[in-house]
Every structure is written in structure tokens, then in C-alpha cells.
Amino acid sequence: MGRIIEEIYVWRLPVRLYHWINAICITVLFATGIYIASPVLVHPPGEAVWQKGMAWWRYVHFASAFIFIANFLFRMYWAVFGRDTYARFGGFRPWSPSWWGKPFREQLESYLFLRSDEPNYAGHNPVAALAHFLFIFCGSVFMILSGLAMFGENNPGGAMSTWFGWMLPLFGGSYGLHYAHHIVTWIFPFYLVVHLYAVLRHDVVDRTSVTSSIITGYKHKVEEEPT
């Protein structure tokens, strides 16, 4: 048995809302995007002009994408200007040699079961911060820019085409950009597996209530009681 010796309010409401809206949007975007790339439903017989199945999937994909973009921009604002210690970008410095030093190695060894003790961080640990940067930040930026460029193809000369059309020649044209957008999509389910492993491992090994903290905002530090 253990008892809670410390309760820390880590994830404030804006961060928790961002997390769940982001999770829902990525799920919907992934499902609708995969279907748009490889539709599995057979269209009923009849005139094609009356069949709106694909248009509906595209509408849901586009609507989710704009919610995803708005949510991402809000998170960037909160990370830079929000007075939130655990949500700011201030502690993320991978360009500094010291950032890759002992704290990073210890956390990585802990995740790989190469050490018995568990480093304790209230917010993101160095490995989690790097994973979020690579998968969520870089992945989201690419998907947003490439998605808006493809959306602009529907209206050549329009705002989206003018602002984001430069992505097309970078990837050799429309097909290349669509292919890259589709391939990068698969980093999100891979990230989900890694993310769930880390979260559940923290709950089991150091019992810091990481899973419930993204709902309640509180992380717990637990100490064994003598028997």
C-alpha cells in the first residue's frame, strides 16, 4: 500500500482542453484521411452526381483540420505567452549540450528498464519533451502546411493557393505532396503507442497518476507505508 505525500497541480485547464481536442482531431483526421486515400465502401448504383459519400468524408476531414489548426495555434500562444510553468517552452533547449546530458540519459535508461530508480519530473521529462517536439510539433507543422497547400489546389489563385502553394514544387508537384502528407500521417499512430507506453509505465512504476493528471490536472507523489 502507498499513501499520497504530495499533490501537484501540473496541467491547467487550457492544456488539458488542448490535449483532448488534439486527440479527437487527430483521430478523426487519421480515419477520414485513410478513407479518402483508400475508400473501402462501395458506392450504390446510380448517377454519380447524387452520390455524396466522398464529399461528406472530405467535409469532415477539412472541418477537423481547421479545428486542429486553431487548437495548435492556441497551444503555441499558451506555450509562449501563457503564465504556465509546466506548459511553457522555456525548459526545452535541445540545442544545448547540457540538455542531452545526465537527465536525458537517466530518463531514457529508465524507459528501457536499464535502471531501477525512476527520475521524477512534475512536468515533461527530457525524453517526453523531445518526443512531443518531433512528433506533435514538427509533425503538426508539416501536416498543416501540406494540408493547406493541397486545400488551396481547389481554388487556384485563392488565398490558400497563394500563401501555401510553395509547398507543391518542394515535393515535385501535387502527387508528391499528397504522398508525403499520407506517409507523415503514420507517425501519429506510432507516437500514440510510444505515448501510451510512457504514460502507463509512469502510472505503474512511479505511480505519479500521469493518466488521470490529464483529466484532473493533478500529479501525485506516492510513498510506501510501512506494513
Q: Domain segments of the chain: what residues? A: 4-222
pLDDT score recorded for residue 97: 79
Strands (E), 106-184: none
In sequence order, the β-bridge partners of residue 222 are 4
Of 183, 195, 191, 190, nearest to 33 by C-alpha is: 183
Per-residue pLDDT of the chain (227 residues; tens, 9 = 90+): 556 667 889 899 999 999 999 999 999 999 999 988 887 666 666 655 556 777 888 999 999 999 999 999 999 999 999 888 888 887 778 888 777 888 888 888 888 888 877 787 888 888 989 999 999 999 999 999 999 999 999 888 899 999 999 999 999 999 999 999 999 999 999 999 999 998 888 888 777 788 888 989 988 876 655 55
CATH of domain 4-222: 1.20.950.20
- Contact in structure between 155 and 163 (CB atoms under 8 Å): no
pLDDT score recorded for residue 133: 92
Consecutive H or E run containing 202: helix 187-205
11 backbone dihedrals φ, ψ, rounded to 5°: -100, 110
In the three-class reduction of DSSP (H, G, I as helix; E, B as strand; rest coil), residue 206 is classed as: coil
pLDDT score recorded for residue 115: 83
Please tell me the distance from the alpha carbon of residue 217 to that of residue 212, in angstroms, as a whole number.
8
- Contact in structure between 24 and 227 (CB atoms under 8 Å): no
